[in-house]
Structure 1
Amino acid sequence: MAVTHDDLAPTPKSSDLGSKTGAFLMILSIVLGLFCFILCLIAEATRSQVKWSATNDEGKGIESQCTYTDSGKLPLLSATAAFLALAIAMVVQHTYLLVAVSKSDSLVEIAWEDPDSAIPNTLTWQAGFFFVSTWMSFAVGEILLLIGLSIESGHLKNWKTPRPSCLIIRQGLFTSAGVFGLVTVFLASALYITALRAERYFHTRENTRRHVLEVSAMYASPPTSPGRINTIRAVHNEEPLPRQDQNLHTLYYYLRAFDKQSSLV
């Protein structure tokens, strides 16, 4: 079985950005946001209504009194579950982001980048926008749900008893809370993606810088002398033999060799 580069690469920790744990928590938060939206739609469809009726108060005139059409238990339970689901999604997303960003050295390096750099500035502004927008949307959604909870919990008992005034929730309040909850989890996911883009940008830039330094160091070093490469060094306790170069022989050496051969003949 062939070994690839991905097999040799180190496995990211669960607290690192881009890990499987981070992806799972982001998906879980989105699912919780969808669950919150569905529960808000249920609360909107089952919210309490008011029914007015005219009564004669023993000759004092006709008075209008109201009664609730339901006790409000179902919308109260739905709104409570939506409130908790949105809070859990927010806590899960931002707790993970806080831990991952605090352990990421690359994001700290980007924070101290040159202010004239375009990409780090763009990523910083995007992260700030998503962070503020997430908390604002979360606050509005939770406040709307709290208003609905307080109103629906006011007539759990004696809801059939006529009364001069009845407080009900306006149409669309729970739906608006669900929309804000859904927007909250998507903005938090966009914040996570922005942080992940910033970390990958830092790693890509560091790899490019390291490659440039290696190439520049290779071309900046002086070439090695061929004579040094071909030099034969003696091993310990070994005497090297002197090298005789035939180009150093004189004409007298060749004439003497010729005379010796002639005398032998």
Structure 2
Amino acid sequence: MAVTHADLAPSRRRCDLGSKTGAFLTILSILLGLLSFILCLISEASRSQMIWEASSGEGKVIKSECTYSSSGKIPLLSATGAFFALAMAMVIQHTYLLVAVSKADSLLAITWDPDSDFAKSLTWQAGFFFVTTWVCFAVGEILLLIGLSVESGHLKNWQMPRESCLIIRQGLFTAAGVFGLLTVFLASGLYITALRAQTHTQDQENTRRELLEASVLYASPPRSPRRTIRAVPNENPTARQDRNGITLYDYLTAFDKHTDLV
């Protein structure tokens, strides 16, 4: 069975970029982002609303009081699950990227050519994905914290009339879910950018190695034919090129035999 170059190449470690572990963790983070988005939609659909009621006070003065439409347990639990799902997705993705990049020797020893358009584009892409990922994550988590604080304020006595009721504006939980989706997809874009950078450096290293091997092969001088020195009777040793393995002594011996027969 023939041995190919792929068989001799070292196998990928579990924490390397482009490994099965990296693909699994990236897909897992996206699924957690989708779960966070679904939980945010549930929170948006079940959020507490304010209901105004007219009541008569002292001196038959009519005043308006408000009550909540629900206790807020369902949106509170859903928003809590969305908060932790988004946090887990962010921690998983960026922890894996940090470990994989720190163990990638090709990325740590990389030297970017300032005149290379490819290097400039990768640098801008990596910076864009890193900054926007953290911005979207921070905004999504802050919106979820606001929703949690409001919904947890009326878990008890939510049917009791009040002079003022604090509720969440429509679309807050939906916006948090959208920012959560953007967070996981931008984190995946950062992973793909790091993978492209590693592939680019590996291609450069392979090309440099092939050029070095070719230069060594063509720079070596050609080998001269091998010469041997054989001793011939009644003559001084002479240097001849050994081609067929027949010496002058063999010719003279054959000639002597031929004259004896005559």
TM-score when scaled to structure 2?
0.86
CA deviation map 1:82-121 (0-9, x unaligned): 00000000000001101111111111222x3232222222
CA distance in 2, matches of 1:155, 1:185: 32
Cross-structure match for 2:220: 221
Indicate how the Cα distance of structure 1 residues 56 and 16 shifts in structure 2: closer, same or farther if over 3 A, else same: same
Residue 237 (structure 1) aligns with: none
Q: Counterparts in 2 of 1:176-187, with a 5 A limit? A: 176-187=175-186
CA deviations over 1:240-263 (Å, ceiling 9, x no partner) = 5457779x9xxxx9xxx9xx96x9
Change (3 A) 1:2 1:210: closer
Q: Percent identity?
A: 68
Q: 1:231 aligns with which of 217, 227, 234?
A: 227
The number of residues matched between the two structures is 247
- Is 1:13 matched with 2:9? no
Q: Which residue type is aligned with residue 91 of structure 1?
A: V
- Aligned partner of 2:94 in structure 1 is 94
Q: Quick one: distance in 1 between partners of 2:169 and 2:2?
A: 65
Alpha-carbon distance change, 224 to 3 in structure 1, aligned in 2, over 3 angstroms:
closer
- Partner of residue 123, structure 1: 122
> How far apart are the structure 2 equivalents of 1:2 and 1:85?
49
Distance in structure 1 (CA, Å) of the matches to 2:155 and 2:200? 56
Give the Cα separation in 1 of the matches to 2:261 and 2:20: 93
Q: Which SS does the other structure have where 2:39 is aligned? A: helix
Structure 1 CA distance for aligned equivalents of residues 100 and 30 of structure 2: 19
Aligned position for 1:29: 29
| TM-score relative to the length of structure 1 | 0.85
Q: What per-residue deviation string (whole Å, max 9, x for no partner) do you get for residues 115-146 of structure 1?
A: 22222222111111100010000000000000
- Correspondence 1:104 to 2:100: no
How many Å separate the matches in 2 of 1:232 and 1:44? Answer: 95
Change (3 A) 1:6 1:211: closer
| Cα deviation, residue 5, structure 1 | 4.6
Once residues 64 and 89 of structure 1 are traced to their aligned partners in structure 2, the CA distance between those partners, rounded to angstroms, is: 45
Tell me by how many angstroms 1:209 deviates: 1.0
In structure 1, the gaps of 5 or more residues are: 234-239
Using the alignment, how far apart are the partners of 1:91 and 1:72 within structure 2?
Answer: 28
RMSD of aligned Cα (Å): 2.8
1:57 aligned onto 2:53 = no
Deviation (angstroms), 1:216: 1.9
Q: Deviations over 1:142-195 (max 9, x none)?
A: 000000000000000000000000010011000000000011000000100100
CA distance 1:217–1:5, change in 2 (3 Å)? closer
Specify the alignment match of 2:76 in structure 1.
76
For each residue in 1:213-258, what CA deviation from the matched residue of structure 2 results, as whole angstroms up to 9, or x when unmatched? 1112222222222x3xx3248xxxxxx5457779x9xxxx9xxx9x
The alpha carbon displacement at 1:59 in A equals 1.6
Distance of 2:261 and 2:80 partners within structure 1: 124
Q: Equivalents in 2 of 1:177, 1:185: separation in Å?
A: 13
CA offsets per residue over residues 55-91 of structure 1, 9 Å max, x none?
1112262111000010000000000000000000000
Partner SS for 1:59: helix
